[in-house]
Structure formats: structure tokens, C-alpha cells
Amino acid sequence: MDSNWRKIYSNTLEHRVKIVQAVLDDAGISSVIMNRKDSAYLFGDLELYVQAENVIRAKQIINRESL
């Protein structure tokens, strides 16, 4: 992943991250999920990244939708 991607959301629950990703996708914002969970111990977060130019809009959508 290049340096143009910014983390805008993280959660330990995969379904929550996928819901946020779907809402952003509906708004026309592409995103990528990075799984940062440790596979042996099952702790850590899943992180959602968007392109730098979409950060403000994506955060506004997340806050407006109370995701």
C-alpha cells in the first residue's frame, strides 16, 4: 500500500468494519481493509483505509451515520 492511503476507522469486529466500508462504497469512496489481528491470539484491529483526498468526506459520512 502506498503512502497515499490514510486510516480512517478501526474496530475489533469484522462486521462493523465491513458495514462502514459498504456505506463508504455507496457514497462512491473506495476503501481497503487491513487485518491487523494476530491469528494465534485473536487480538488486534481491522483497519479501514481510504485515499488521502477522501479522508475528510469519509470521516464526515462515518460521523453523520454514527457508525
For residue range 6-20, what is the model confidence (pLDDT) as tens digits? 999 999 999 999 999
d(CA 65, CA 67): 5
DSSP 15-44: HHHHHHHHHHHHTT--EEEEE---TTT--S
Q: What are phi and psi of 28, to 5 degrees?
A: 85, 20
d(CA 21, CA 11): 12
**How many domains does the chain contain in total?**
1
For residue range 23-61, what is the model confidence (pLDDT) as tens digits? 999 999 999 999 988 877 778 899 999 999 999 999 999
Which residue has better confidence, 65 or 50? Answer: 50
- Report DSSP state, residue 4: T
Could you tell me how many residues make up the chain?
Answer: 67
Which residue range(s) make up the domain with 49? Answer: 5-65
Q: What is the CATH number of the domain that holds 15?
A: 3.30.70.1530
Q: State residue 57's pLDDT score.
A: 97
